[in-house]
Structure 1
């Protein structure tokens, strides 16, 4: 996936042009989720522009479009004595430089990589549950769905009921609507009539 979609780009700005549907959905979710990842600076290998390592947010989104946004690491803006203000001022406004010098510890001389923290969990560890709860759009609970998905009902029955309710059963007319032509095998139907979902249950 990296070779196909990222190439030389940072994952935060990789696009979904001419990509598979699953990748396009990932890009949409990324726009929401990436702001919930904070990078604790250790060595300084985080991306200066595209990772959220300051409390100002992701600099790529905060600063004007005409700012320099080539791929560069945080450690390139510091020396063993602290932040290099002369280099920082070439890339970001003076007020941002002052904020970083006063509030953000500079990278350390260490081999320890920068650590990511998932802000939606107290322990800082990513979970699919918290990510899903963050992006999902809750709707009003439906009585019919509550009856389908019951604790003591086997999943195969629940899925069958759900597919029938959503008209997703693999019968002739549903398959044909997807552009797949086939001949009906139901001898009980009139000639040239496709099998429909109602013929299965009624």
Structure 2
């Protein structure tokens, strides 16, 4: 990803120097991306930056949501590592019965906990436990490097299970025969080291957590602007319409289904149609009577 680029704006009542356009095109072609952008107005330059950022080979701008998700990943990492008063408090408050990997959240829970749970499914597969004493959950901790055993073997009813890995060794070999499950020597490489403690390893680095790799992971698995973003942030589309379209695609309009996700319970009724339906995004912008009349 680029860390430097050049943006050139043409002054009013002037022209670019002779050969400038060709030189800029040649440099961009050689670099394989846009390292020089040139437009005739500030708005055109801003449009170019927004469009190029949302596609592949952008200018390296970091979105606010990307930073929030990466910070949530860091919180989850420290929580799963344990060993702090903060992690022990969260375990006692939210995970007294269920394992953190399968624990959900409610609207009465803290904002921090909800943020951590929302990013959990993306981050948890990147946390691998280096087995030492074997004080890791045999069902939900990723000690095998392949994922949680309960998910790998499609075993249900283990949300509250607290069986430890060290309790599943028979005659020096790992097995789940005590639970009536045959793993067929699938995890023969796993061994206990009683003199060492269990250590969490961040898979992208093979060691401790790294914020840069967390941002890259969020960027890779997150949604990008794609074609629709290139269409709304384009020349000829007014700012008012561009931002309205952006809010529609991002689900940032105060329709009833959005308010319901925020915890507000209310009767939903569209005020625009003769036969009103639920006031949600699909109805207001796609399926409603008034909407179909506008699009037709």
Equivalent residue for 2:213?
Answer: 130
State the 1:32 CA deviation.
0.9
Q: TM-score, normalised by structure 2?
A: 0.40
Report the counterpart of residue 115 of structure 2 in structure 1.
25
User: Which residue of 1 is the match for residue 196 of structure 2?
Assistant: 112
How far did residue 104 of structure 1 move? 1.8
Pairwise CA distance, 1:4: 2.2
Summarize the alignment of residues 164-179 of structure 1 with structure 2, pairs less than 5 Å apart: none
Task: Provide the aligned C-alpha RMSD in A.
Answer: 2.8
Indicate conservation of the 8 Å contact 1:39/1:53, yes or no. yes
CA distance in 2: counterparts of 1:31 and 1:77, whole angstroms? 26
- Deviations 1:117-169 (CA, angstroms, capped at 9, x unpaired): 11111x42111221222123354799xxxxxxxxxxxxxxxxxxxxxxxxxxx
Return closer, same or farther for 1:89/1:112 CA change in 2, 3 Å cut-off. Answer: same
Shift of 1:82: 0.9
CA contact (8 A) 1:89 1:97 kept: no
- Is the 8 Å Cα contact of residues 78 and 107 (structure 1) preserved in structure 2? no
Match of 2:177 in 1: 89
Stretches of structure 1 lacking an aligned partner (at least 5 in a row): 143-202
- Label 1:92 to 1:114 Cα distance change in 2 as closer, same or farther (>3 A): farther
- Output aligned runs, 1:59-98, within 5 Å: 59-66=149-156, 68=158, 70-79=161-170, 81-83=171-173, 85=175, 88-91=176-179, 93-94=181-182, 96-98=183-185
The answer on whether the counterparts of 1:67 and 1:91 sit within 8 Å (CA) in structure 2 is no
Q: Partners of 2:180 and 2:189 in 1: how far apart?
A: 15
Please say if residues 78 and 106 of structure 1, whose CA atoms lie closer than 8 Å, have aligned partners that are also in contact.
Answer: no
Q: Is the 8 A contact 2:132 2:197 kept in 1?
A: yes
Match of 1:44 in 2: 134
Q: Is the 8 A contact 1:35 1:57 kept in 2?
A: yes
Name the CA distance, whole Å, in 2 between partners of 1:24 and 1:92.
Answer: 36
Provide structure 2 residue ranges, at least 5 long, that are not aligned to the other structure: 1-89, 231-296
Per the TM alignment, residue 12 of structure 1 is displaced from its structure 2 partner at its CA by: 1.3
Displacement of 1:36 in angstroms is: 0.5
Q: How many corresponding residue pairs? A: 136
Cα distance in structure 1, aligned partners of 2:214 and 2:163: 28
Which is worse superposed, 24-33 or 128-137?
A: 128-137
